[in-house]
Structure 1
Amino acid sequence: MSPAQPDGVRWPVDGSLGPDLVEVDRRRPLSLYVHVPFCRVRCGYCDFNTYTVGFGPGAQVGDYAPSVLAEARLAARVMADAGMEARRAQTVFFGGGTPTMLATGELIEILRGLDEAVGISEDAEVTLEANPDSVTRSGLRELAQAGFTRVSFGMQSAVPSVLRTLDRTHAPNRVPLVVEWAKEAGLSTSLDLIYGTPGEGLTDWETSLRCALSYRPDHISAYALVVEEGTTMGRQVARGELPTPDPDDEAAKYELADELLGEAGYAWYEISNFARVTDADRSPARAPTSYVHASRHNLAYWRDWDWWGIGPGAHSHVGRARWWNVKNPAAYAARMREGVSPAFAGEILGDETRELERVMLGVRTAEGITLDNLPVVADGEGREAASGVRVEALVADGLIDGGEAAKGRVILTLRGRLLADYVTRELMGY
């Protein structure tokens, strides 16, 4: 089971938000996230809110759409009551879990219902996460025809032994097949990779990278494995059955990924995400975060857009309000039938927290943040320390690009990407 839910302030039963909380005047773009908590097999490293069994009406495969759409209607009502102008979602992301555990028809029903309840922009990016063994050629074609634009496959590795350690169920040779099916359907393609799995050597990781590149997806995500407490893998590591991931090993693997992906024509636009560069992206005026194949939904989080998370355990962030839903699918479905908010708790973000998050999220992207947007902080003796002094020190340490800093922008070097949290603390004066 997933860890206990985080504490927070009690949330209104009707989910209401005041105009001051949503910051009506900001007019931020809106994104939607739909959490599908069902999986055929629960992977040993996963700490997401996922389940391999159903929980009754409105909380099981084949009967999930009514609960999702009830929350979508609640979201539209709450935002309207707060005085927000109607906004069509610029991105929609179906994550999990395994969204493709739902039938193609149910996924299409949900997408259409979201458009009716909230509204989806005509040029919206609509992404579906999928396991390589959970899709069909005809299903991908139907999804594309219904308005899905992008599919993200959980490849994780091309090495069978690594996949077994991760409890992944697909065969490596399935990945190129489904990528080709998605391309035939006209869908943009992304592959998720994980590095640092116990027992994975540098050669194994290189094999996975080269295989992924040979399929020519539009986008590749490379995530370092994090062993979470409460997971099967966490218990295996605690008992000494699996070795603890080595940070130096993970750093070497990230550097290899950056090298090979760069050579193959992919560019990083966020620390863990790389987009295939097109001719249109080569304009000097085009920022990496505007690349054709950069995930717009991913960037919505880094750019502080408003986003509403639908489903059990989903998190939402609108203005200064952040909240999270009850995790149990049966409890979630019951609340939706009763017409009350599924929120378990939440928090109101203060100015200091928002400033920290603005810097932390901004520096993770390849466009970085401008020097004049850095906060003024006190040095160890209580004197205000100019942001330029802090940046100069980070440039000297090889963590921030000196040429870009001279132009007034803070952008991480490769070494800086490996130490992004440290850079953020330094910039904030912590």
Structure 2
Amino acid sequence: MATMAAAAPEGDPAPTDGSLPPGALRGLGDRPFGVYVHVPFCATRCGYCDFNTYTAGELGSSASPQSWLAGLRQELDLAARVLGTAPAADTVFVGGGTPSLLGADGLSQVLDAVRGVFGLTEGAEVTTESNPESTSPGFFAGIADAGYTRVSLGMQSAARHVLAVLDRTHTPGRAVAAAREAKAAGIGHVNLDLIYGTPGERPSDLAASLDAVLEAGVDHVSAYSLIVEDGTALARRVRRGELPMPDDDVLADRYEQVDAALVAAGLHWYEVSNWASDEAARCRHNLGYWLGGDWWGAGPGAHSHVGGIRWWNVKHPARYTELLANGASPAAGRERLTEDDQRLERVLLELRLAEGLPIDALTPTALAEAKSAANDGLLDPTALTSGRCVLTARGRLLADAVVRRLT
């Protein structure tokens, strides 16, 4: 959820000084506040990925981790000027790209920069994404010492042929080993990411991946169906007929397989694609997104939201650092969310949570649709009677359709 996709929405021009309307700053600090940092660097490009990432060969001499870090510091200083009395960050999430390519020292500098501008609340959650192949026991010890409390590892699959289709470069067992190393280093919470529904993946392959996840003893799992995004190498292979498009019925079967295995092991869903061992293991940063909090997204292509104003940065690292070096905001565009926009997004995001959506967020027409969805077995009728829309197991498989009915 925290990773920034390559495509940016259309919007209005953003002011060059990054200023926000006074109304957007009203109540700042009363809502959850997070900081997202986007690291745009990857060693190689995975065939399914459409995130805003760049390999060294693609960037050449136009940008580097050093120039990016200088730009990041300048953007964080800009954030302090724009927000005035900046609230301490409840959560920090370093995503990408491949943040672990920065090494423990680089990630320590990132967190020091955030801490120096915003400060961290007591017990703040600090997460970094990491690719298994660019980690080691020393890496995890270093980020633990720096103050990282959570790590999210891109496992995707334990099947070698599935990893090959996804163009993942780590060996099947590396993610499990990395998870154990992170725990041994004192990282309090460890997540493993899975992708299911890859062409050629068999139920037995997914079962082996789930066994490996559970063997690693992590307290959080994110599992996503493979989406073939336009413009990716995977999409070109599907278009040429080299690979089949993922089948919706197969994806539904795979989701049920994931849910059954994780629930049996004591991990329970709290968002449609996320399972945790207990409330403390939930990703608080992503919950801030889903529950309408504020966050500053720093880095190329990062998105931000404060008080109903949403904006997004230019995507290319060289342009990002150039704008900041010239004293300008790196924002490429922004939009003001209307009350209707915010209501629709609330339905879209909160309905995906295990706690569901309060019915007072629905229009009368949508409430009637909610009652109809309960009759169809998509919403829990008992929860609806108690004032909340909560997806059933079948409803989770059709969550997007339920959202459309309620909006």
Task: State TM-score, norm by structure 2.
Answer: 0.95
The AA in structure 1 aligned to 2:73 is L
Corresponding residue number in structure 1 for 2:27: 24
Give runs of aligned pairs for residues 16-165 of structure 1, distance below 5 A: 16-24=19-27, 27-53=30-56, 55=59, 59-80=63-84, 85-165=85-165
Q: State the 1:122 CA deviation.
A: 2.8
The AA in structure 2 aligned to 1:201 is R
Matched position secondary structure for 1:24 = coil
* Separation of aligned partners in 1, 2:86 and 2:400: 36
Corresponding residue number in structure 1 for 2:326: 338
Residue from 387, 395, 398 that aligns with 1:419: 398
Q: State the 1:61 CA deviation.
A: 2.6
* Separation of aligned partners in 2, 1:59 and 1:120: 29
Matched position secondary structure for 1:309 = strand
* Separation of aligned partners in 1, 2:284 and 2:238: 36
Q: Bigger shift: 263-272 or 172-181?
A: 172-181
For structure 1, the 5+ residue unaligned runs are 278-290, 378-384
Corresponding residue number in structure 2 for 1:251: 252
Q: CA RMSD in A?
A: 1.7
Matched position secondary structure for 1:7 = coil
* Separation of aligned partners in 2, 1:14 and 1:124: 29
Corresponding residue number in structure 1 for 2:342: 354
Matched position secondary structure for 2:210 = helix
Query: Is 2:6–2:301's contact at 8 Å kept on the other side of the alignment?
Result: no
Instruction: Report the identity percentage.
Output: 49
Matched, 1:267 2:268: yes
Matched position secondary structure for 2:280 = coil
The AA in structure 2 aligned to 1:189 is V
Matched position secondary structure for 2:228 = coil
* Separation of aligned partners in 2, 1:41 and 1:30: 33
Give the paired residue count: 401
CA distance 1:113–1:56, change in 2 (3 Å): farther
Matched position secondary structure for 1:199 = coil
Q: State the 1:245 CA deviation.
A: 0.6
The AA in structure 1 aligned to 2:138 is S
Moved over 6 A (4+): none
* Separation of aligned partners in 2, 1:57 and 1:12: 29
The AA in structure 2 aligned to 1:341 is S
* Separation of aligned partners in 1, 2:349 and 2:25: 20
For structure 2, the 5+ residue unaligned runs are none
Corresponding residue number in structure 2 for 1:194: 195
Q: State the 1:363 CA deviation.
A: 0.6
* Separation of aligned partners in 1, 2:79 and 2:269: 33
Query: Is 2:28–2:87's contact at 8 Å kept on the other side of the alignment?
Result: no
The AA in structure 2 aligned to 1:60 is S
Corresponding residue number in structure 2 for 1:296: 284
Matched, 1:321 2:309: yes
Query: Is 1:3–1:230's contact at 8 Å kept on the other side of the alignment?
Result: no
* Separation of aligned partners in 2, 1:58 and 1:333: 10
State the Cα deviation string for residues 71-113 of structure 1 (Å, max 9, x = none). 1111111111xxxx43101110010000011132121011011
Corresponding residue number in structure 2 for 1:280: none
The AA in structure 2 aligned to 1:135 is T
* Separation of aligned partners in 1, 2:361 and 2:249: 32
Query: Is 1:400–1:412's contact at 8 Å kept on the other side of the alignment?
Result: yes
The AA in structure 2 aligned to 1:91 is T
Matched, 1:214 2:215: yes
Corresponding residue number in structure 2 for 1:374: 362
* Separation of aligned partners in 2, 1:58 and 1:403: 58
Q: State the 1:30 CA deviation.
A: 0.9
Query: Is 1:58–1:64's contact at 8 Å kept on the other side of the alignment?
Result: no
CA distance 1:4–1:362, change in 2 (3 Å): closer
State the Cα deviation string for residues 33-79 of structure 1 (Å, max 9, x = none). 11001011100000001011174789313443211111111111111
CA distance 1:26–1:333, change in 2 (3 Å): closer
Q: Bigger shift: 348-357 or 158-167?
A: 348-357
* Separation of aligned partners in 1, 2:212 and 2:237: 29
Matched position secondary structure for 1:344 = strand
Residue from 389, 399, 408 that aligns with 2:378: 399
Query: Is 2:18–2:329's contact at 8 Å kept on the other side of the alignment?
Result: yes
The AA in structure 1 aligned to 2:306 is V
Query: Is 1:69–1:113's contact at 8 Å kept on the other side of the alignment?
Result: yes
Matched position secondary structure for 1:167 = coil
